Structure 1
Amino acid sequence: MDGVFGSDGVSLHFWAPEIDPAHPLECTHPERYALRRLDSGSYIALKKEDQSLRDVSDVQEAHFFHTHEAALRAAIELHRLGSGSFDVVKVD
């Protein structure tokens, strides 16, 4: 039972709030990902008026995803819809 119970018999928890996938917006250090076009190197953002896509050159203006999986799903779906190929980029 190593790794589950401490030497004093108290259970140990391997959960940390900054990596909780169930509540990514409540993390102390949430991860951020953006989509970058492979052909031009521009990033994808959303227009405020109608939520359509626009290209931006600065990653800080891009739309952020809080999990790699969500960004990857969006990249796959946009590619399927004919919007081009994308790279998922982790933003520090």
Structure 2
Amino acid sequence: IVRFIRSFLQDRTIRLTIGNFIAEPITVTTGILQGFFLLLILFLFFASTLLLILQRGNITAYRFINNINILIYSKSIEENYRAIK
């Protein structure tokens, strides 16, 4: 199973297209193929650990489908910055 999933995550490229302009392919080293049928399952594995790490003190994390929102609150921007860093 690992080799099967790895085959979808390696040696990938993207190409930006705007109107008639088509850019040269760019190598992609992170992320999962858009529309990949296992995307949601892989995201759940990733997010389950990440969300546990983020749930502390003044930090809260929520997930919806394949997105994570992180909420940090305090009395100052500087404290928020230190928390997210």
Q: Give me the TM-score of the superposition, normalised by structure 1.
A: 0.28
Q: With a CA cutoff of 8 Å and minimum separation of 6, indicate the structure with the bigger relative contact order.
A: 1
Q: Give me the TM-score of the superposition, normalised by structure 2.
A: 0.29
Larger fraction in helix: 2
